[in-house]
């Protein structure tokens, strides 16, 4: 029985974790290739690429994987960015940011995923979201949380309520916020534009379960690098 239980744990816990880790590294690799294609493969001369590299390191992506993605960008390019608007169960709104080498194929696959899970592509969903600058930081020591809050109060940035190490700001202020946090002794893990829902919605139990299934299916698609929704 002990052997059976051990195998059950490996199969039910380690297997899904490994699959999730593999998908994460695949998406990070796509982001590396896109940033390198747009601004060059040298992080010291490409701020966007440097930020993605920081994200990769923060998520323990092997150095060999990072270097392989950059070499691939030099040979093949990084794919195209596509933003799709959709409606989900219960009238929920969804935005998907894709990075793909075949936009037509990717859109066809996303449309099919939506149809199977009570959703559809729908223009206008973007109006339910506000483009927002988001900076996520990691403390260098145990004082990091206090330092970040002090920086926010001093410079009037708004810390995200769920954690004091995430800051939101106007898109035009993104660079100054990032530089200010670095000056305050914090190491940014990511800094970029995200879509924040203007009016989040609470769904009844049935549509909510269907919406969760839809979001899981969309999140598992290899071309989806960012997924935004307005569900509470």
Q: Is the pLDDT of residue 51 over 90?
A: no
Task: Select from 96, 148, 149, 157 the least CA-distant residue to 122.
Answer: 96
- Find the domain containing 36 and state its range: 2-76
Residue 181 has a pLDDT of 85
Q: Would you state the structure tokens that stand for residue 15, as one six-digit string?
A: 């297997």
Q: Which of 36, 57, 76 lies at the terminal end of a domain, its last residue?
A: 76
Write down the pLDDT at residue 155: 52
Where residue 118 sits, what CATH number does that domain have? Answer: 3.30.70.980
Tell me the mean pLDDT in the region 176-195: 83
Q: Is residue 176 part of a domain?
A: no
Write out pLDDT tens, residues 4-30. 444 444 455 555 677 778 888 888 888
Q: How far is it, in rounded angstroms, from Cα 213 to Cα 118?
A: 10
Helical H segments across 77-204, by residue range: 103-116, 144-155, 174-183
DSSP 41: S
48: nearest Cα among 56, 60, 57, 36:
36
pLDDT at 159 over 60: no
Is there a single domain that holds both residue 86 and residue 65?
no
pLDDT surpassing 90 at residue 34:
no
At residue 198 the predicted structure's pLDDT band, cuts being 50, 70 and 90, is very high
In a domain, 117, yes or no: yes
pLDDT band at 197 (very low <50, low <70, confident <90, very high): very high
pLDDT of amino acid 100: 85
Please tell me which residue, 44 or 123, carries the higher pLDDT value. Answer: 123
Percent of the chain with pLDDT over 70: 80
Rg (CA), the chain: 19
Task: Identify whether residues 117 and 13 lie together within a single domain.
Answer: no
Q: Please state, in angstroms and rounded to a whole number, the distance separating the CA atoms of residues 125 and 198.
A: 11
The mean pLDDT value of the chain amounts to: 80
Entry pTM: 0.69
213 phi, psi to nearest 5 deg: -65, -40
Query: Residue 211: what pLDDT?
Result: 95
> CATH number for the domain including 10?
1.10.10.200
Query: What's the pLDDT band for 148 if we cut at 50, 70, 90?
Result: low
Does some domain include residue 103?
A: yes
191 pLDDT exceeds 70?
yes
């Amino acid at each position: 029985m002990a052997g059976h239980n051990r195998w059950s744990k490996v199969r039910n816990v380690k297997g899904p974790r490994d699959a999730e880790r593999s998908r994460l590294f695949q998406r990070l690799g796509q982001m590396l290739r896109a940033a390198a294609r747009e601004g060059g493969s040298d992080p010291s001369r490409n701020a966007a690429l440097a930020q993605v590299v920081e994200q990769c390191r923060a998520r323990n992506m092997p150095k060999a994987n990072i270097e392989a993605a950059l070499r691939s960008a030099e040979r093949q390019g990084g794919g195209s960015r596509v933003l799709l608007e959709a409606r989900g169960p219960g009238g929920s709104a969804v935005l998907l940011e894709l990075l793909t080498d075949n936009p037509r194929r990717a859109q066809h696959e996303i449309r099919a995923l939506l149809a199977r899970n009570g959703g559809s592509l729908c223009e206008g969903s973007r109006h339910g979201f506000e483009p927002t600058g988001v900076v996520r930081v990691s403390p260098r020591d145990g004082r990091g949380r206090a330092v970040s809050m002090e920086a926010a109060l001093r410079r009037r940035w708004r810390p995200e309520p769920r954690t004091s190490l995430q800051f939101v700001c106007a898109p035009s202020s993104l660079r100054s916020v990032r530089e200010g946090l670095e000056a305050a002794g914090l190491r940014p893990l990511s800094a970029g534009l995200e879509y924040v829902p203007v009016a989040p919605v609470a769904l009844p139990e049935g549509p909510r379960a269907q919406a969760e299934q839809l979001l899981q299916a969309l999140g598992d698609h290899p071309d989806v690098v960012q997924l935004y929704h307005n569900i509470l």
